[in-house]
């Protein structure tokens, strides 16, 4: 059992409290950044309380399993690691440790293209783990194509294209202040984006503030559905779109031939006042029903009952971000594995008490909206 100052770390909140004491103020601020008044950031967690579990009774739940699949690949539980950037704030080995923890938990790790570790290092650290690669479409498409080809070469099984960042949101942390490790420390450089082209070499030679700003400008690239089709043209890997919150966008995604959708509000970091992911989930699931598109959700998941509610509303799996970063800061890969195990154990208990034996056999009426009851 994991401990903090002799006390066991038994919940996600235990890890949060301990991580805040261990992390630098800069790292804590970066991970907890949000847009505007933080309304969407806060509502993504609070929204789960708008839903209730309607347990089935007198069901034999002796034999249960949490195992499922994502895009046909088996995982031990429908709880995966969301793409988040700059893991070096939490651990010196950065995403290498995170990938190890996810592999040890036998679940999916989605790696951010803004990782501090290289794709090849992560692949070597967790050779048996299921890995997907998150991507932005940069103005210079050579950068995006490089990430895709490296992911293919290293055995990643899907490309996760983030589609809700045509421009960087109004975040408190990201006011382009050239201070701290984010801008000044070369070990915080996005390892997989510093590719071998003249523009990158020039920016690096001018200093890390310049390479950071160059990449930020490259990332502010308004995209269209033609860009999704371009991405499909350069890879045979399945494409998953992250950042969809409406049925209309979900239908367009299905029309574009994607394999999956992640219902996400970008952690509340992009724009305030949009829907929480759990509130948008039913609409998105309904919009692509029968289209062969798997739907996942990230945002605000802090407990096993949160996971059950998302699954009951139609998500194939959930992805978690901050709890993984907190665990990484506390205990490295073992912490990542443990926090995933905690959530898995909570989900298993919630399934059993609700009269269910598998995440793939949750009845459609298990979750209800409080206001309608």
Q: Give catalytic status of residue 146 as yes or no.
A: no
**CB of 44 closer than 8 Å to CB of 277:** yes
Are 358 and 48 in contact, with CB atoms under 8 Å apart?
Answer: no
The residues assigned a catalytic role are 266
């Amino acid at each position: 059992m994991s401990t903090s100052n002799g006390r066991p770390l038994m919940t996600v909140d235990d890890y949060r409290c301990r991580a805040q004491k261990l992390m630098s103020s800069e790292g804590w601020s970066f991970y907890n950044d949000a847009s505007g008044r933080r309304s969407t950031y806060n509502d993504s967690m609070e929204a789960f309380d708008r839903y209730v579990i309607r347990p089935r009774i007198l069901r034999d739940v002796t034999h249960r399993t949490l195992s499922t699949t994502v895009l046909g690949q088996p995982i031990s539980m429908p709880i995966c690691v969301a793409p988040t950037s700059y893991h070096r704030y939490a651990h010196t080995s950065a995403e290498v440790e995170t990938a190890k923890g996810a592999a040890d938990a036998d679940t999916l790790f989605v790696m951010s293209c803004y990782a501090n570790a290289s794709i090849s290092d992560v692949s070597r650290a967790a050779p048996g783990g299921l890995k997907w690669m998150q991507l932005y479409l940069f103005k210079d498409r050579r950068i995006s194509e490089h990430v895709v080809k490296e992911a293919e070469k290293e055995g990643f099984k899907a490309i996760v294209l983030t589609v809700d960042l045509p421009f960087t949101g109004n975040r408190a942390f990201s006011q382009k202040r050239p201070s701290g490790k984010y801008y000044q420390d070369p070990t915080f450089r996005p390892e997989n984006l510093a590719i071998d082209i003249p523009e990158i070499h020039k920016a690096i030679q001018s200093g890390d503030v310049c390479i950071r700003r160059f990449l930020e400008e490259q990332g502010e690239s308004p995209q269209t559905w033609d860009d999704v089709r371009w991405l499909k043209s350069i890879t045979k890997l399945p494409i998953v779109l992250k950042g969809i919150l409406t049925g209309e966008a979900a239908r367009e995604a299905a029309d574009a031939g994607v394999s999956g959708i992640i219902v996400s509000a970008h952690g509340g970091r992009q724009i305030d006042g949009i829907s929480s992911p759990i509130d948008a989930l039913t609409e998105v699931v309904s919009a692509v029903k029968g289209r062969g598109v798997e739907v996942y959700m990230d945002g605000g998941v802090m407990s096993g009952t949160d996971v059950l509610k998302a699954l009951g509303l139609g998500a194939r799996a959930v992805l978690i971000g901050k709890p993984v970063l907190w665990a990484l800061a506390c205990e490295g890969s073992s912490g990542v594995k443990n926090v995933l195990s905690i959530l898995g154990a909570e989900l298993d208990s919630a399934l059993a008490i609700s009269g269910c034996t598998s995440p793939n056999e949750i009845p459609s009426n298990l979750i209800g909206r409080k206001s309608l009851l």
